[in-house]
Amino acid sequence: MAEKRISAEQLGLAAGLEKADKKALFKWLLASFVFGKPIQQAVAERAYRILVEQRGLDTPARLAGCSQQELVRLLGQARYVRYDISTAARLHKLSRKLMAEYDGSVTAIRRQSPSRHDFAQRLLAFEGIGPKTVEIFMREAEAGLYGSTD
């Protein structure tokens, strides 16, 4: 039985991704990050919704401003407990690196990447982002970042 795949549309991000909207791209990167871990999709979706929709951690600055202890608590509230401590630490590192190296913007990563491959490599350089997270992210963000492949 195939596991349900969450989509950007289900999270209300599809239109923003089509336009390569800075805020939508960050939210989708955050969603891809939590969905990229070996954890139940329902738990990952709940974690995303708690972090972004309930707590408002929808920008790198807001995410970085939340304490690691608070992130662990929020992930625990979503029952994202198997990787809560490591995920909280990596979310902090992701937001800080994005702010320090890319002015807090996924579109800045795109501007600095001469190719799709380079863009993917830059994403992989973030601690906690692996091939699965990149696959999930690019599945729905690539068209907005690089134009439609139709």
- Give the per-residue pLDDT at 123: 98
- Domain of 57, in residue numbers: 14-145
Domain presence at residue 98: yes
Q: Is residue 135 part of a domain?
A: yes
Handedness of CA 125, 131, 136, 142 (dihedral sign): positive
Confidence tier at 1 by pLDDT (50, 70, 90): very low
Q: Does a structural domain hold residue 100? A: yes
Q: How far is CA 17 from CA 57, 90, 97, 138, 141, in A?
A: 18, 23, 22, 10, 6
Tens of pLDDT, residues 75-116: 999 998 878 899 999 999 999 999 999 999 999 999 999 999
Q: What is the CATH number of the domain that holds 78?
A: 1.10.340.30
Check whether 150 has a pLDDT greater than 60. Answer: no
Domain count for the chain: 1
Local structure of 104: helix, strand or coil: coil
Q: Could you tell me if residue 7 is inside a domain?
A: no
pTM of model > 0.75: yes
Long-range contacts: 12-18, Cβ < 8 Å, 24+?
Answer: 13/140, 14/140, 17/140, 17/141, 17/143, 17/144, 18/143, 18/144
